[in-house]
Amino acid sequence: MKNAKILITGASRGIGQAIALKLSQEGFSLVLHARQDESLIETISQLKEGIAYETITADLADPNQVKGFLSALKKAHKDLYGIVSNAGITSDKPIAYQPEKEIDLLLQVNLKVPILLGKYAMKHFMKTKKGFFVNISSVVGEIGNAFQSVYGASKAGITALSKSWAKEIGQLVPDHEVRFLTVSPGFIETDMTDQLTPAIKSLYKKSIPSNRFGHPGEVANLIAFLLSEQSPYINGSEIKINGGIA
Ligand code: NAP
| Neighbour order of strands in the sheet with 53-57 | 53-57, 29-34, 5-8, 80-85, 130-136, 177-185, 238-241
- Which residue is catalytic, options 53, 81, 151, 233? 151
Residue 7: in which H helix or E strand, if any?
Answer: strand 5-8
Distance 127 CA to ligand 1 centre (A): 30
Per DSSP, 12 falls in state S
pLDDT in tens, 187-236: 999 999 999 999 999 999 999 999 999 999 999 999 999 999 999 999 99
Q: Which atom of ligand 1 is nearest to the CA of 65?
A: 19
Tell me if 87 CB under 6 Å of ligand 1. yes
Residue identifier of the C-alpha nearest atom 36 of ligand 1? 138
Res. 107 pLDDT band, cuts 50 70 90: very high
pLDDT given at position 1? 72
**118-130: pLDDT as tens digits:** 999 999 999 999 9
Q: Is 88 in the pocket of ligand 1 (CB under 6 A)?
A: yes
- 151 classed as catalytic: yes
Measured from the Cβ of residue 241, the count of other Cβ atoms closer than 10 Å reads 16
Pairing mode, strands 29-34 and 53-57: parallel
- Our answer on whether the CB atom of 108 is closer than 6 Å to any ligand 1 atom is no
pLDDT at residue 2 greater than cutoff 90: no
What are 135-180's pLDDT values in tens digits? 999 999 999 999 999 999 999 999 999 999 999 999 999 999 999 9
